């Protein structure tokens, strides 16, 4: 195959095409994100985090930054199929929290979700762990400071998933020293140099780090 056919866009579209048909409500959530430019993890990443949660039979999941519940919906689907448990959904915004509740009720997954109206890392500190999975999608400049808290709350053998680790390609621009880009770079440096983690960066959509806590 000619190399010029292996583009970012073609690859991401292909990955999305491999995801099985979703529930109507999940598709509505995807359509909302596309129509209003709301940042969600996307279809292929949603299916991937669902797969990871099923693979380790997760029962307890904490989301740092949940938006209107798209990633929550995938995690809750896994929790339900794993036989029960809880996903912690955290947002500051009451409207987003209500949107998430409405979607999850329609998906029949709301009973597996605990909703927090709080700054995400603060909520994690206050919530009893340990957790099987922690998903991190907060403001990128806050990523480095979140790692010690995450490490203390994730069980051994648990999985940490961090979104936006390619940060729209800005991490490759050496002149970009914005707080968000610096946060992504610093977090990546911290976790890949920490011997307590086994880390891979998956170049799906905007890049997700998947880290296993030894």
Span 135-165, pLDDT tens digits: 999 999 999 999 999 999 999 999 999 999 9
Q: What was the pLDDT predicted at 2?
A: 59
Q: What is the pLDDT of residues 154-212, one digit of tens each?
A: 999 999 999 999 999 999 999 999 999 999 999 999 999 999 999 999 999 999 999 99
Residue the block writes with tokens 């985090």: 49
Question: What's the mean pLDDT in 1-19?
Answer: 85
- Residue 46 in tokens: 């949603």
Specify the pairing of strand 131-136 against strand 60-64. Answer: parallel
What is the number of other CB atoms lying within 10 angstroms of the CB of residue 5?
A: 8
Q: What was the pLDDT predicted at 3?
A: 64
CATH (residue range 3-213): 3.40.50.150
Q: What is the pLDDT of residues 24-58, one digit of tens each?
A: 999 999 999 999 999 999 999 999 999 999 999 99
Output b/e per residue, 40-68; b: 16+ Cβ within 10 A.
bbbbbbbbbbbebbeeeebbbbbbbbbbb
- The residue ranges of DSSP E strands in the chain, in sequence order, are 60-64, 86-91, 113-117, 131-136, 154-162, 197-202, 208-213
Specify the pairing of strand 208-213 against strand 131-136. Answer: unpaired
To the nearest whole number, what is the mean pLDDT of the chain? 95
Residue the block writes with tokens 């099985």: 20
User: Cα angle at 167 between 149 and 204, to 5 degrees?
Assistant: 95
In the chain, what percentage of residues exceed pLDDT 90? 96
pTM of the model: 0.94
Q: What was the pLDDT predicted at 206?
A: 95
- Residue 159 in tokens: 């999985």
SS3 31: helix
Q: What is the pLDDT of residues 78-114, one digit of tens each?
A: 999 999 999 999 999 999 999 999 999 999 999 999 9
Question: What's the mean pLDDT in 121-132?
Answer: 96
5 vs 13, higher pLDDT: 13
Q: What was the pLDDT predicted at 5?
A: 78
Domains of the chain, residue spans = 3-213
């Amino acid at each position: 195959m000619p190399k010029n056919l292996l583009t970012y866009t073609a690859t991401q579209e292909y990955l999305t095409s491999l995801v099985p048909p979703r529930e109507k409500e999940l598709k509505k959530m995807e359509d909302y994100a596309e129509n209003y430019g709301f940042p969600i993890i996307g279809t292929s990443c949603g299916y991937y985090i669902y797969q990871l949660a099923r693979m380790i039979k997760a029962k307890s999941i904490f989301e740092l930054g949940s938006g209107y519940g798209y990633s929550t919906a995938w995690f809750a689907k896994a929790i339900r199929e794993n036989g029960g448990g809880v996903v912690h959904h955290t947002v500051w915004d009451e409207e987003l929290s209500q949107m998430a509740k409405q979607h999850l009720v329609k998906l029949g997954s709301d009973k597996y979700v605990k909703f927090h109206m709080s700054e995400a890392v603060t909520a994690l500190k206050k919530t009893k762990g340990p957790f099987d999975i922690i998903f991190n999608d907060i403001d990128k400049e806050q990523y480095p400071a979140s790692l010690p808290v995450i490490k203390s709350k994730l069980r051994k053998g648990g999985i940490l998933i961090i979104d936006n680790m390619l940060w729209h390609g800005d991490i490759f621009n050496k002149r970009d020293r914005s707080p968000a880009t610096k946060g992504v770079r610093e977090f990546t440096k911290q976790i890949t140099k920490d011997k307590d983690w086994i880390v891979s960066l998956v170049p799906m959509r905007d890049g997700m780090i998947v880290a296993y806590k030894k």
